[in-house]
């Protein structure tokens, strides 16, 4: 499918794309750049990549595909380094960030519009583990990938990126960036925020060792995502601040209502909340089977 693919940012997602393409014979050569030389060394040792280079400009030479797997707030300088790639229409560029509107705004500020060969994307897959050492060639199997191209993006570039994700086993969906950011503020960003907050609160208590020692499976399942990369999530909350705050305010209001129900002994009302939630959860589970 590609002669040379360049991965900018060699972490879990970038590494999984690289090793997934290699496993399926989709690429002849994978080059990578990362600000952390240890990540490049690990990628080479694990044969995730074929070469690691010390600059974006050197990495993208003669690339058919460039994958941007850098933190959301690093996009400005990253896009500036890719100006030559945006002029080469034989090269396709995509990203994997979980917030899409900031990328599009930044590109429009720099270039007047989203370049015709830049296809914003977001694979809905991950792990509490991070770094290239956690790369998994099958990470995207049976997962969704959302693409959010604007009208300025060519259909050819979008189809190339969609075809790549399908080859990696993913289901591809397109939607506007603003709609994407609103959905994931509620379904991904807010749950991560709650998990971080819960673990932080419990670990600050004097008996935290005993609390974690006797934690049941439900706590372990929910708190697992608090092991995710803190820097990445800090940047996500900054980039998607408005949508996250909207979701958080609604949740805090619901928590306030539930607290009053418990404090005032309104157990039948509390049970109704639980019943509604169970019906919604059961319906959600059916949709994803």
Residue with tokens 């609390």: 211
Q: Are 141 and 243 in contact (CB under 8 A)?
A: no
β-bridge mates for residue 4, sequence order: 29
Give, for 117, the enclosing helix (H) or strand (E): none
Structurally, what CATH architecture does the domain formed by 180-287 represent?
Orthogonal Bundle (1.10)
Q: Which residues contact 183 (CB under 8 A, 6 or more apart)?
A: none
Q: Is the pTM of this model over 0.75?
A: yes
Cα 216 to Cα 222, 223, 281, distances in angstroms: 10, 11, 20
- Boundaries of CATH 1.10.3660.10 in the chain? 180-287
- As annotated, the residues of the chain forming the CATH 3.40.50.720 domain(s) are 2-175
b (16+ CB within 10 A) / e for 176-212 = ebeebbbebbbebbbebbbbbeebeeeeeeeeeeeee
Are the C-beta atoms of 48 and 79 separated by less than 8 Å? no
Rounded Cα distance, 96 and 119, in Å: 10
The pLDDT tens digits along the chain (289 residues) read: 899 999 999 999 999 999 999 999 999 999 999 999 999 999 999 999 999 999 999 999 999 999 999 988 889 999 999 999 999 989 999 999 999 999 999 999 999 999 999 999 999 987 777 899 999 999 999 999 999 999 999 999 999 999 999 999 999 999 999 999 999 999 999 999 999 999 998 888 766 677 777 777 778 888 888 888 888 889 999 999 999 999 999 999 999 999 999 999 999 999 999 999 999 998 887 776 5
Structure token digits, residue 211: 């609390």
- What's the CATH code, domain 2-175? 3.40.50.720
Query: Tokens 């305010």 sit at which residue?
Result: 249
End-to-end CA, the chain: 31
CA–CA dist 145, 287 (Å, integer): 17
Q: How far apart are CA 253 and CA 166, in angstroms?
A: 40
Distance (Å, whole) CA 29 – CA 59: 12
Helix axes 241-263, 267-287, angle to 10 degrees: 140
């Amino acid at each position: 499918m590609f002669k040379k693919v360049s991965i900018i940012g060699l972490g879990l997602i970038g590494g999984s794309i690289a090793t997934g393409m290699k496993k399926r014979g989709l690429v002849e050569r994978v080059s990578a750049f990362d600000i952390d030389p240890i990540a490049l060394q690990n990628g080479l040792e694990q044969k995730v990549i074929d070469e690691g280079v010390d600059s974006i400009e050197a990495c993208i030479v003669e690339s058919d595909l460039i994958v941007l797997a850098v933190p959301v707030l690093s996009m400005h300088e990253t896009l500036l380094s890719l100006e030559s790639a945006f002029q080469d229409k034989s090269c396709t560029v995509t990203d994997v960030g979980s917030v899409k509107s900031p990328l599009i705004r930044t590109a429009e500020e720099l270039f007047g519009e989203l370049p015709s060969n830049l296809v914003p994307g977001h694979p809905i897959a991950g792990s509490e583990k991070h770094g290239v050492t956690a790369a998994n060639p099958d990470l995207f199997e049976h997962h969704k990938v959302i693409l959010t191209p604007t009208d300025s993006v060519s259909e050819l570039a979008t189809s190339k990126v969609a075809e790549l994700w399908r080859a990696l086993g993913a289901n591809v969906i397109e939607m506007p960036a603003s709609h994407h950011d609103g959905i994931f503020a509620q379904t991904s960003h807010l749950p991560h925020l709650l998990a971080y907050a819960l673990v932080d609160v419990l670990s600050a208590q004097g008996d935290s060792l005993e609390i974690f020692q006797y934690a049941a499976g439900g706590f372990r399942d929910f708190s697992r995502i608090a092991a995710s990369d803190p820097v990445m999530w800090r940047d996500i909350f900054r980039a998607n601040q408005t949508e996250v705050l909207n979701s958080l305010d609604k949740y805090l209001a619901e928590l306030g209502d539930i607290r009053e129900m418990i404090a005032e002994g309104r157990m039948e009302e509390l049970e109704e909340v639980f019943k509604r939630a169970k019906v919604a959860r059961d319906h959600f589970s059916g949709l994803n089977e």
